[in-house]
Structure 1
């Protein structure tokens, strides 16, 4: 899959957002902070109303499938644990802003890369089973008024970004 990106250029959005190795960092500290994803309170409440005995431990499921040896036609059953479709998580991404002399323009441009990256994740999948229908995600972002919006509907102004 290649090497980890680490050009270290001061105008590289990847290095600026995710940081570089400490040895010869010219871009400063990492700007993006990803908080843990936890089950959303709305999802928990919906599930408790729908299924009286529901608890957060019921969130994962085991999926069973077979791999077939193409030469011998021998089936090899396997199972893995996954989160079923429809489960909602809440998490937070913070983008630290540093004074760089651009009056915030450079930081605004950097945050546009974050939104674009989230859109790319929506078009692909998380994890290694995307071709089998696992790992599909959709992001909804809470704007400064507290409304949830899809990525296509959100603007940096909605978020209160510079």
Structure 2
């Protein structure tokens, strides 16, 4: 009996970019906590929070170093950036449960429903997994999407991390409060009164919301993986793509610029809930770009440059030469 031969995709991680940044909320914002308020007479809604460890001079033990702070989940920024990029590109939207529509590469039953190998949403933000058994050659011939899985598929490139109030912001707050031990969660919040008015009876339905007050400075980072197929373009991917003409040279450059453009869309709109009512306006600043060249066996990431706004970062990525060095190093052998 013949032994079944499975596909053997060749994939190599050749580099990792890292974006480090500060994020300022220009208006109050709310990413809701799922925990109900337990204090009688308190607001109906409060932001997500966590006990975060900060180190300061009057910190005597582990518990004293912890401060309850609001934070921005990496999933919130990723989801918002992804959804805006989907809409900006006019991508098709699908649903698997009849409830939520979004762009997807893989539908029910491991069926490929969007097959462009250079789609920035699928490659930057990720797609649902597929079972390899569905895309193996068979006695009847190759599966129509064997080429996609074998030659053009790679894991999610962008890795978003949770964002917390910056060390500098906490340090300033410690001085303002006369000591870090005097900081409470309420120091990060403001009350926002809202009301619903019955259009017929004019009856009011008021409620109070606690949201993160303006001008809290958060810090965060996004890692961005670069694979060999993102630098050494593959014929099979070019042949099946309608987006290949948007890629001047390297898919990696196109994907990284797409990530930055998605963040720009978040900056132009909002993050969190109630954005159409003024919540969630943000600004990125103090952006630092690092790169760890794994193809050249560099021992650690190196800082490339610093930017004060996302547009300058996007334009710089369009000129960066690091991809040329990777190509010279590996593409002759892939």
* TM-score bin, normalised by smaller chain: 0.7 to 0.9
Q: Tell me: higher relative CO, structure 1 or 2? Use CA pairs within 8 A at least 6 residues apart.
A: 2
1:33 to 2:159 alignment:
yes
Q: Which stretches in structure 2 are left out of the alignment for 5+ residues?
A: 1-98, 105-113, 132-147, 235-248, 290-302, 324-334
TM superposition shift of 1:128: 2.6
Higher Cα Rg: structure 1 or 2? 2
The CA RMSD over aligned residues, in Å, is 2.8
The verdict on how the C-alpha distance between 1:161 and 1:63 changes in structure 2, with shifts beyond 3 A counting, is: farther
Measure the CA separation in 2 of the matches of 1:73 and 1:159: 60
Measure the CA separation in 2 of the matches of 1:84 and 1:97: 37
Q: How many residues align?
A: 162
1:135 to 2:283 alignment:
no
- 5-14 or 33-42: bigger deviation: 5-14
Measure the CA separation in 2 of the matches of 1:51 and 1:147: 32
1:50 to 2:50 alignment:
no
Measure the CA separation in 2 of the matches of 1:45 and 1:128: 29
Aligned to 1:114: 259
Other structure's SS at 1:17 match:
helix
Other structure's SS at 2:282 match:
coil
Q: Is the contact made by 1:125 and 1:134 (CA closer than 8 Å) also made in structure 2?
A: yes
The verdict on how the C-alpha distance between 1:48 and 1:123 changes in structure 2, with shifts beyond 3 A counting, is: same
Measure the CA separation in 2 of the matches of 1:77 and 1:94: 43
Measure the CA separation in 1 of the matches of 2:228 and 2:194: 52
Q: Is the contact made by 1:122 and 1:138 (CA closer than 8 Å) also made in structure 2?
A: yes
Other structure's SS at 1:97 match:
strand
TM superposition shift of 1:49: 2.4
Q: Deviations over 1:122-147 (max 9, x none)?
A: 11011231122211111121243674
1:23 to 2:127 alignment:
no
Aligned to 1:149: 308
Q: Deviations over 1:88-139 (max 9, x none)?
A: 1111111111110239821111000011111111110112311222111111
TM superposition shift of 1:81: 2.3
Measure the CA separation in 1 of the matches of 2:307 and 2:199: 47
Q: Which stretches in structure 1 are left out of the alignment for 5+ residues?
A: none
1:102 to 2:240 alignment:
no
TM-score scaled by structure 1?
Answer: 0.85
Q: Deviations over 1:24-65 (max 9, x none)?
A: 684321111001111111111122223325526221333222
Aligned to 2:118: 11
The verdict on how the C-alpha distance between 1:22 and 1:9 changes in structure 2, with shifts beyond 3 A counting, is: same
TM superposition shift of 1:157: 7.5
Of 68, 71, 76 in structure 1, the residue corresponding to residue 197 of structure 2 is 68
TM-score scaled by structure 2?
Answer: 0.44
